[in-house]
Amino acid sequence: MKQAFVNGIPISKEAVQFELDRLVKFYATHGTSADEIKKNLDKLVEKAQEQAIGAKLLLDRAAQLDLPVDEKAIDAQLENVIRQVGGRDSFAKALAKQKIGEDEFRKELAKGCRVDALVQQACSGVPEPTEDEVAAYYEAHRATFVSSPQVLAQHILVKTEGMDAADKVQALDKIKAIRARIVAEGRGNPGATGEAFTKAAQEHSDCPSGQNGGSLGWFGRGMMVPEFDKAAFAMKCGEVSEVIETQFGYHIILKTDERPGGQQTLVDVADSIRDLLRHEARGRATEAFVAELREKANIEYR
């Protein structure tokens, strides 16, 4: 695929990959299977490049208009980024690796907020999907709304990456001791097991999920590494696993719920369909706005 240029400025591979990751995540979240995504990957890459071009045009237009930025919105986005990377220490390390300061990072977030405001203007006239439209989409795509078995679980991780044999023994002893305390506190009281596990995850887990009590949310088969996946689906609800070793280290799992999978009803997926239809309608409105910007820009493929 040729590289795109907007008014002489190249669209980087990183920008295209960013848009591709967003597309894949969105469609996967809204019921598109991994096989279907793989089958249409070339088209998705082309769409990602066009979205990257559109993002550049929107950034430039937002900068020209100098749209006002809500500092509270930037603060909220900053805190979200800090949570995603695992806390302020991890965030500081990430900034140092990129050789930028927090003020510069905030300026980049401000650019994004200006683009969001511009897109909001472009989509201001887009109506909400009707119930008839949601139902019609469900009937037309009923076969795609079949869920696989899922598990709801928490975990605690003690990392072993880069450790020598002696350190790994200490790590194993540590997680065994954590498990023993949790099991002891919850013996005869399932509710106490959950509370003890959550507290231990917050205090000891090396995974960023520890801040949320080790919660991994709902996940299906194949979404976790094989050893973890096999254990989570074999367990009973309310059970604390034995120590599981993966490439990341030693884990223990608390399985809190499970879903058997099967045909999803319209009620199950209505919100997801509504979100998809809203996203597509806003996408069309944004594309129309970007098309106007493209007419005034010099777009080249080299």
pLDDT in tens, 69-90: 888 888 888 898 888 888 888 8
The domains of the chain, with CATH numbers, are 4-141+266-301 (1.10.4030), 149-260 (3.10.50.40)
**Contact in structure between 277 and 31 (CB atoms under 8 Å):** no
* 172: helix, strand or coil: helix
CA dist 41 and 27 (Å) reads 12
CA atoms within 13 A on the CB side of 127: 4
Q: How many residues does the chain have?
A: 302
At 277, the pLDDT band (50, 70, 90 cuts) reads very high
Provide the 8-state DSSP code for 240.
Answer: B
**CA distances to 72, 120, 126, 190, 288 from 67, in Å:** 15, 12, 21, 53, 20
Exposure of 276 by Cβ count < 10 A (0-12 exposed, 13-18 middle, 19+ buried)? buried
User: Is 2:302 a contact under the CB 8 Å cutoff?
Assistant: yes
Banded pLDDT at 273 (limits 50, 70, 90):
very high
Summarised one tens digit per residue, pLDDT across range 149-196 is 999 999 999 999 889 999 999 999 999 999 999 999 888 787 789 999
pTM of the model: 0.54
CB 201 within 8 A of CB 209: yes
CA angle at 232 for the pair 28 and 86, rounded to the nearest 5° = 65
Cβ within 8 Å of residue 105, ≥6 positions away = 78, 95
